[in-house]
């Protein structure tokens, strides 16, 4: 199964449109959004093209193909604009050989890992910093942020295809991190 991951959109219409363009080109089954969909939050500057209502409208066009979790900047008011659920603090995608634990990263993350089995994947956003690596027996994956990248990284998103998790830059499609998750 091919999956696309986007995190920390923060209401940026240009980032939303680019993500949806790449999703349409990707042949991915699901677009997984890892929280902080519409609101920029008090600690972040306004992202380029901050238009949360329009970003919601664009995302709603793909509502039946989106799996999302709640970020620390998401609220019930945001849910009122979206046709797909965003209020779950975590979700799971169960594959035959492993579990993908999806979360934003502020409740569960590198400092507070959920109980996972060897080979499972913790997938999160929140830090806006890309990660694709194995830590002990668990894989960690963070696609970075599509709108407000940090740590000197470019805006980025993630893909899972044929047991490889990749972080890819949003604009020039460079792979900046990857890890193979063996069956």
Is the pLDDT at 147 greater than 70? The verdict is: yes
For CA atoms 80, 74, 69, 182, the dihedral sign is positive
Nearest to residue 38, comparing CAs of 80, 74, 87? 74
Region 148-154: mean pLDDT is: 97
Determine how many CB atoms are found less than 10 A away from the CB of residue 178: 16
Is the pLDDT at 44 greater than 90? The verdict is: no
Alpha helices by DSSP H, the chain: 13-26, 52-60, 76-81
Rounded to two decimals, the pTM is: 0.97
Nearest to residue 149, comparing CAs of 122, 131, 127? 127
- Looking at residue 11, its pLDDT comes to 97
> Residues 59-110: pLDDT tens digits?
999 999 999 999 999 999 999 999 999 999 999 999 999 999 999 999 999 8
Sheet holding 164-169, edge to edge: 66-68, 30-33, 3-6, 156-161, 164-169, 175-180
The angle at the Cα of 65, spanning 155 to 50, to the nearest 5 degrees, equals 40
The average confidence (pLDDT) of the chain is 96
- Looking at residue 182, its pLDDT comes to 82
- Take residue 57 and report the two structure tokens written for it: 């409208």
Quote the CA–CA distance of 104 and 8 in Å, as a whole number.
9
Bridge-based pairing state of the strands 138-142 and 121-123: parallel
Domains and CATH numbers, the chain: 3-180 (3.60.21.10)
Is the pLDDT at 183 greater than 70? The verdict is: no
SS3 percent helix, strand, coil of the chain, rounded to 5, is 15, 30, 55
Report the percentage of the chain scoring pLDDT > 90. 93
């Amino acid at each position: 199964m091919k999956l696309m991951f986007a995190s920390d959109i923060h209401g940026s219409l240009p980032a939303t449109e680019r993500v949806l363009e790449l999703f349409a080109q990707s042949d991915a089954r699901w677009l997984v959004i890892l929280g902080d969909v519409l609101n920029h939050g008090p600690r972040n500057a306004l992202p380029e093209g901050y238009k949360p209502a329009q970003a919601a409208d664009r995302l709603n066009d793909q509502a039946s193909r989106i799996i999302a979790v709640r970020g620390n900047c998401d609220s019930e008011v945001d849910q009122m604009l979206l046709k797909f659920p965003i209020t779950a603090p975590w979700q799971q995608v169960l594959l035959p050989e492993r579990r993908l634990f999806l979360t934003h990263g502020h409740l569960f993350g590198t400092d507070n890992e959920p109980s996972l089995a060897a080979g499972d994947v913790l997938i999160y956003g929140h830090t806006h910093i890309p990660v694709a690596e194995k830590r002990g027996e668990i894989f960690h994956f963070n696609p970075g942020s599509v709108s407000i990248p940090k740590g000197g990284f470019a805006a980025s998103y993630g893909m899972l295809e044929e047991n490889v998790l990749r972080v890819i830059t949003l604009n020039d499609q460079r792979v900046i991190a990857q890890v193979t998750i063996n069956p």
